[in-house]
Amino acid sequence: MTATVAHVHEGTDAPYALSHLDALESEAVHIFREVAGEFEKPVILFSGGKDSIVMLHLALKAFAPAPVPFTLLHVDTGHNFPEVLDYRDRAVAKHGLRLHVASVQEYIDAGKLRERPDGVRNPLQTVPLTEAIQQLKFDAVFGGGRRDEEKARAKERVFSLRDEFSQWDPRRQRPELWQLYNGRHAPGEHVRVFPLSNWTELDVWQYIAREKIELPEIYFAHEREVFKRNGMWLTAGEWGGAKGDETTETRLIRYRTVGDMSCTGAVDSDATTLDAVITEIAASRLTERGATRADDKLSEAAMEDRKREGYF
Amino acid sequence: MTSTTEQFADLSATTLLRFATAGSVDDGKSTLVGRLLHDSKSVLTDQLEAVERVSASRGQDTPDLALLTDGLRAEREQGITIDVAYRYFATARRRFILADTPGHVQYTRNMVTGASTADLAVVLVDARNGVIEQTRRHAAVAALLRVPHVVLAVNKMDLVGYEETVFASIAEEFTAYATGLGVPEITAIPISALAGDNVVEPSANMDWYGGPTVLEHLETVPVSHDLTACPARFPVQYVIRPQTAEHPDYRGYAGQIASGVLRVGEAVTVLPSGRTSVIEGIDALGESVDIAWAPQSVTLRLKDDIDISRGDLIAPSSSSPATTQDVVATVCHVADQPLAVGARVLIKHTTRTVKAIVKEIPSRLTLDDLSQHPNPGQLVANDIGRVVVRTAEPLALDSYADSRRTGSFLLIDPADGTTLAAGMVGESFASTAATTVQADEEGWDF
């Protein structure tokens, strides 16, 4: 038998306490198991970013020694970091999972979506995502969204009912009481499920460190050719690159979030280890999205508006 | 008391406190929450810049901290809070999850939602108005939901000249009222959310107050671990059967321990079937352990291969709950459509969902004066009432007074899945009520 002392919270009188990470882990696992018990066809949205990697890790723990009873879905903007796609494919192979890919590029090629003038593809993800959910008949869709990310997300339920158009209506959310999640839905509707709702960015990083979870290398400081647009360091790629008087330079940077290359900014950093990343984030005076996401700066309510349309 | 983000990378000293705020419109609740976040340095530069930008564009001299919490378009347009929002912040001592519940219309269901998972509730009062009807409602809801700690924050002390007598009389009135409801612990703190007195920093304007600031109290109040002192309850969520070459015979019952402590070798009973076995192993998310406790998510293996599925409850044979098909409870009605006698509903209790009929609605509570309105026939949005529900299958229920987790349930509309009501099993909610009710037949006992 393994001793359980590691779980006992030091410095409290209570013989049975959980550290806050253990409490968050236990809650997230409970949410995964509720979905497995109540839904027909759940899917985990998996981007290869840190939040979805943590979700997959939790799902693996929740059902061990059995395999994860969910498939994965990636909405590929066509402008993803190659390192992240590589990580995605290795993770799928390693755990014997099934991956669906909804491709923004295919929608553009088929004339079903039009490229925006600014080349930013994040808002274009909503249509392939919602159509994949409808076509593949997923009834529960796990997302790695956290309430600490953004003020509209602070209002999101753990189980968030979406209509047949995947729309979110903040005024018509079900009250969510105790840990009694109500996943009932009509045919055509589905439920978005957020097991990391109560986690903060720092919790995610501390958990990654504790569990020794491998991440794509772009999360750690490395030298990269970047150029500045709208106050953010972007990496050139197939999606485009420096224009006009924008100049490319080599900088020591890392990524705090992973998304579409056209709108995910890098931060200056020399953090090459998990410990250094945690120290850096704990001291940062910018939020994760404020530091690295151009699309959230489009308007005061950019996230709310996209969520209403079916985005995460 | 230091509380900077730089320090919360240190994991070892942090526990998690979940708390909820409640206050009437214009009591300054959003300002208090904004002040708490701002003064504990939990607001980051880009968030503050956004608030400053919007405040300035509205012609305000100082940043309106309420804008930190009102996130939706409609909230900013109307200057009100629409729905419960969850906020996260940390100090060197503790991490916090705040359920920020609006005090506007629909106050009851929103506060019930926020309070259902809270260890502590902050009830805000305007010092100029004192304890009003709404304050009594908030106290009653906190007592109903059995929130272990209640803080009375007497706000706007700057507008009453920081007078000790004003604070003392409000604190005395509230404490007497809330104690009568069975609220186990009440802490009253005089504050000015706008000026920042006693929220994070001790006030220079109220030398007569020797107690903690709001944040200091939040940091030091004991986090309730009484869940582990209760008899063990293990609702089965999911049966794990890998059926792989590596694990051909593994059969584990996955779930989150709702209360108590479970040990390998313990004799257990499975409800509602009543079959018995012994815990052979406990798998705690990857490691084999010999003891586990609430609220850990674990997987149990039993000595005997008996029929167990999602919805069953595993409990120690020495203290297993009774099963019943007649549920007597207090409910808070949370839906817009009414709940009437004779309604066919679903009841979701732990991991079990069964059909049920509302047999009786013996009374509806008037929160203003805590009087009972007999046989109202139906409950509408935000009503709190007693119900008697007959279920199609037996449920293993505890009293909500003993366990928030196994004593709570949802009533769901089977037609459209709407959550109709939040239920709490048992005759009464106040911890002192058992004796009160016996002693006084006229007493309220919802």
Q: For residue B34, what pLDDT is reported?
A: 84
B272: preceding bond cis by omega (within 30 degrees): yes
Which B-chain residues 176-195 have CB contacts (< 8 A) with chain A?
A: none
Q: How many CB atoms lie within 10 A of CB B259?
A: 24
Most B CBs within 10 Å, among A156, A161, A184, to test the B interface: A184
* Nearest of B1, B81, B69, B78 to residue B35 by alpha carbon: B69
Are A279 and B13 inside 8 Å of each other by CB?
Answer: no
Asked if the model's pLDDT at residue A295 lies above 60, the reply is no
- What is the H or E stretch that residue A276 is in? helix A274-283
**Type of residue found at B299:** T
Are A16 and B54 inside 8 Å of each other by CB?
Answer: no
3-state secondary structure of A108: helix
Which B-chain residues 21-60 have CB contacts (< 8 A) with chain A?
A: 44-47, 50, 54
Q: Residues, chain A, total?
A: 312
Which residue of chain B has the CA closest to A279?
B9
Q: For residue B56, what pLDDT is reported?
A: 81
Q: A with B: how many residue pairs have Cβ under 8 Å apart?
A: 227
Q: Give the closest-approach CA distance of A224 to chain B in angstroms.
A: 25
Chain A contact present for B352, CB below 8 A: no
Mean pLDDT score, A126-149: 91
Instruction: Kindly report, residue by residue over B165-219, the tens digit of the pLDDT.
Output: 999 999 999 999 999 888 888 999 999 998 999 999 999 999 999 999 999 999 9
3-state secondary structure of A106: helix
B442 burial (CB, 10 Å; 0-12 / 13-18 / 19+) is exposed
ipTM for the predicted complex comes to 0.88
Are A1 and B296 inside 8 Å of each other by CB?
Answer: no
**Type of residue found at A222:** H
Q: How confident is the model at residue B256 (pLDDT cuts 50, 70, 90)?
A: very high
Chain A contact present for B419, CB below 8 A: yes
Averaged pLDDT of chain B? 86
Residues of A in contact with B72 (CB under 8 A): 151-152, 155, 170, 301, 304
Q: Taking a C-beta distance cutoff of 8 angstroms, is the pair B68, B47 a contact?
A: yes
Q: For residue A256, what pLDDT is reported?
A: 87
Query: A122-131, A238-247, A286-295, B215-224 — which is least confidently predicted?
Result: A286-295
Are B73 and A304 inside 8 Å of each other by CB?
Answer: yes
Instruction: Kindly report, residue by residue over A22-52, the tens digit of the pLDDT.
Output: 999 999 999 999 999 999 999 999 999 999 9
Q: Give the closest-approach CA distance of A96 to chain B in angstroms.
A: 13
**Type of residue found at B440:** D
Torsion over CA: A144, A148, A152, A154 (sign):
positive
Most A CBs within 10 Å, among B296, B332, B409, to test the A interface: B296
- From A23, A161, A304, residue closest to B72, measured CB to CB: A304
Chain A contact present for B285, CB below 8 A: yes
Contacts of A211 (CB under 8 A, 6+ apart): A57
Q: Taking a C-beta distance cutoff of 8 angstroms, is the pair B438, B369 a contact?
A: no
Q: For residue A164, what pLDDT is reported?
A: 83
Q: Taking a C-beta distance cutoff of 8 angstroms, is the pair B358, B445 a contact?
A: no
Chain A contact present for B254, CB below 8 A: yes
Q: For residue A297, what pLDDT is reported?
A: 52
Q: How confident is the model at residue B369 (pLDDT cuts 50, 70, 90)?
A: confident
Which B-chain residues 223-242 have CB contacts (< 8 A) with chain A?
A: 223, 225, 228, 237-238, 240-242
- From B8, B54, B293, residue closest to A282, measured CB to CB: B8
Asked if the model's pLDDT at residue B7 lies above 80, the reply is no
Q: For residue A21, what pLDDT is reported?
A: 92
Contacts of B10 (CB under 8 A, 6+ apart): B92
Query: A50-59, B25-34, B144-153, B403-412 — which is least confidently predicted?
Result: B25-34
Query: A23-32, A267-276, B13-22 — which is least confidently predicted?
Result: B13-22
